[in-house]
A = this chain, B = another copy of it.
Amino acid sequence: MAAAGLCAAAALMAETPAAALMPWPASVEVHPGTLAINAGFSVFASGGGAADARVKTAIDRLFARLARQTGLPLLPVRATSAEGAALRIVVEQGDHRGPQQLGDDERYSLEVSEAGMRLSADRPLGVVRGIETFLQLVRQNPAGAAPGFSVPFVEIHDEPRFPWRGLSLDVSRHFIPVEGIERTLDGMAAVKLNVLHFHLSDDQGIRVESKKYPRLQQYGSDGQYYTQVEVRDMVAYARDRGIRVVPEFDMPGHSTSWLIAYPSLAAGPGVMDPTKTATYHFLDGFLGEMAKLFPDLYFHIGGDEVNPRDWNKDPRIHAFMKKQRLANAAELQAYFNKRLEKTLGKYKKRMVGWDEILQPDLPKTVVVQSWRGPKSLAEAARQGHPGILSAGYYLDLMQPAAQYYAVDPLKGETATLTPEEQKRIWGGEAAMWEELATAENLDAKLWPRLAAIAERFWSPESVTDRASMYDRLGETNRWLEWLGLTQRSNLELMRKRLAGSMRTGPLDAFAEILEPVKGYERHRDGWNATTAFNRLVDAIPPESDAGRKFSDAVDQYLMAPNGVTAESLRAQMSRWIEGAAAVRPLLEANSVLVEVQPVAEAVAVLCRTGIEAVSYGTAAPPADWKPRALAAIKDASMHRAHLMIAIAPAVQKLVESVPLENQ
């Protein structure tokens, strides 16, 4: 998007807040006027690709979703002619046979004008993408117009920036049932992601039925795995939505669950023995079976975080390394990877692995996925490998959307690559490691933040405005609920569980400025796949909207202090003090909430301190006020019950801005 385009985008967003397109398209023009969506809505599809199964199912879904978004009693009516159709879909040609491929054409154009609505694409995938954009445009008419729904006049031409736009989803640490995967695929398709990287095995469990090695699921899954029928269903469900499924079976490390089932493969706890012929024989059988089950060309073998200790301490392995002239554990893993790569080649698959697999004599078709960062990614690209960035996109670290949004696969070290090398950066993947995510709160840990990352992968590089992103993210978050995503509703239920038979309102209001602690703090405190996740920290979103808005308001106030803003900040903080008082009976009555009592006290302290700071304004406080206030903030900012108070940094800014007496 050119700078002019960006300005137009900003203007559009300002004028029509409901035009909450996300990812923002490559090119958007808006014209005055709208077309109504009414109960007679119909579709006519034409062109060489109109008979494609994905086009047909996408149109069926369009009707169902439009009915939900509008409440209109829509039946999936195909018009008998283009003239009689509310929406004309033209798709030039069908696709190649076989599974969806990297780089398949996703371009589309969407025009809404007095002449009607027209979605056109060269290929079926473009229709799948364009329908999502169309659905994002539907909004209720403003008062004054007829009661009902419409889409604005627009002209959109759109295509993705990167061909590989993924979510890496760990279903080993916490198993996610099929309906959760399908919901996630719905959400991914809605924001135009196109790869589900399915992390199917790890120490905690292997999650796919093997008919060849049934002990894997019998002993390595606690009964929580996908049958092969379910896998085929999920792959088909994904394909319908233009999403490739890339399986990952992590090896030779992170493999405790395999080794429980087949101990003879082990070199030590959680790591395979790469010196035994039997290991390669087993993996040949397993990969052959899985290669059939997952039709995608790419196959992920993990390869991360192998602890060299278990190899180094075994004399037999040492002898093998010496014989094979392998200097260290890394070279032994390289040897393992090369053999795996050959096996995968036999099954017509290309290998993907994490940074650690990178080594000079690896075939250049092998794709490197970087969890270590752009430097490692750039190195892979220089060596000739395609690369995918995941570092910076770890949703499980509970960072705010803006932080992920600022990470670009072609910034930092990768920006120094030649244009040729840069072409090897195929895109990126958000990652959701599930130590702390459960089937119950997965949606809330993915959404809406994942939509911001999806925009990074799809939209032009220049689309970076934080404020616009957050506005559209809020709209997108609401829109996604029509798909049945539970990021709001399940957290509400969890808070109802906490509140027992008491009203949830005070808890909801109190929790709006709380956030879970970030990074691996909870992991270090012993939370893992076997603990209960039914505390308040599990029942709130990763990011506090109210906290962010308050922080923005404080920044504005500090740039231009004035009485109106001061009063508004004061009023807001007073409400939070009242809220912290109103929630006390709840916290005092329910055993699981007791741990949150000190947080309510800390909120009150913070807000009182903030109010004092605003009251002093530009006047000087008593000499000892500021150190006392800063100490109070420091104490209130301690992590209690694994919660953080999102407004603490902004309150600190307010205090720091108060001039000292002697200034």
Which A residues have a C-beta under 8 Å from some C-beta of B?
17-18, 20, 39, 68-73, 75-76, 139-148, 222-224, 438, 440, 475, 478, 481-482, 489, 492-494, 496-498, 500-501, 529-534, 538, 587-595
Contacts and interface: CB of A to CB of B under 8 A. Distances in A.
B497 A143 contact: no
Nearest to A531: B73
Given A70-B534, A72-B534, A139-B500, 9 more contacts: A18-B500, A68-B440, A70-B532, A73-B532, A76-B223, A140-B591, A142-B591, A147-B595, A481-B496
A590 B538 contact: no
Most chain B CB neighbours (cut-off 10 Å) among A20, A141, A500: A500
A500 B500 CA distance: 31
A593 B142 CA distance: 10
8 contacts: A17-B501, A71-B538, A73-B531, A75-B223, A139-B500, A143-B591, A148-B591, A489-B492
A549 B583 CA distance: 22
Contacts of A70: 497, 532, 534
A590 B587 CA distance: 39
Contact of A482 (B493, B591, B592): B493
A20 B501 contact: yes
A301 B53 CA distance: 41
Contacts of A593: 143
B222 A591 contact: no
Given A147-B592, A591-B147, A592-B148, A140 B75 contact: no
Contacts of A493: 481-482
Contacts of A496: 478, 481
Contacts of A481: 493, 496
A592 B140 CA distance: 8
Contacts of A144: 591
* Chain copies in the assembled complex: 2
Nearest to A482: B493
A224 B75 CA distance: 9
Contacts of A223: 75-76
Contacts of A69: 497
Nearest to A597: B143
A532 B39 contact: yes
B591 A534 contact: no
A488 to B, nearest CB: 9
A534 B71 contact: yes
A588 B438 CA distance: 42
A149 to B, nearest CB: 8
Contacts of A594: 143, 147
A71 B147 contact: no
Contact of A140 (B76, B478, B498): B498
A632 to B, nearest CB: 26
A16 to B, nearest CB: 10
Contacts of A440: 68, 71
A94 B142 CA distance: 62
B71 A589 contact: no
A494 B492 CA distance: 17
Nearest to A592: B147
Contacts of A141: 590-592
A444 B151 CA distance: 30
A18 B529 CA distance: 30
A7 to B, nearest CB: 22
A532 B41 CA distance: 13
A145 B591 contact: yes
Contacts of A73: 438, 529-533
Contacts of A482: 493
